[in-house]
Amino acid sequence: MKIVSLLGVGVIGVMLGCICLVSQRKSLFGVLLSMEVFTLGIYTIIFSVFWVLGELGSLCLIFLTFGVCEAALGLSVLVSLVRGVGSDYVSSLVSGHF
């Protein structure tokens, strides 16, 4: 029963991350946060499926490593954008100052 609720939390996390990613139009930081929620939801789903199968292999650890690398790259892009343009708003990218 706990695994079904863990799978439900993962599905809710994925749906919430997708909704926030689609609705985010102003800030790059909000996009990165919604992508992290999406990644953690997928990780929760993978973890619960492998828990049911009885094999918690290295796939969960590999996926979590890729999620951390994605977060680090997103943060470095955000920092370089803020240093170059002065803000993290998407509208400043369109004006061509980057």
DSSP string covering 40-88? HHHHHHHHHHHHHHT---THHHHHHHHHHHHHHHHHHHHHHHHHHHSS-
Tell me how far apart the alpha carbons of residues 24 and 49 are, in angstroms, rounded to a whole number. 30
Global pTM?
Answer: 0.78
Give per-residue pLDDT as tens, 27-82. 888 888 888 888 889 988 888 888 878 777 678 888 888 989 988 998 998 888 88
Domain ranges, ordered by start, for the chain: 2-94
Task: List, in sequence order, every residue forming a beta bridge with 89; answer none if it has no partner.
Answer: 27
Residue 59 identity: L
Instruction: Tell me what pLDDT residue 29 has.
Output: 85
Instruction: Tell me what pLDDT residue 1 has.
Output: 57
Tell me how far apart the alpha carbons of residues 35 and 58 are, in angstroms, rounded to a whole number. 22
Q: Is 5 buried (19+), middle (13-18) or exposed (0-12) by CB count in 10 A? A: exposed
Fold of 2-94: Helix Hairpins (1.10.287)
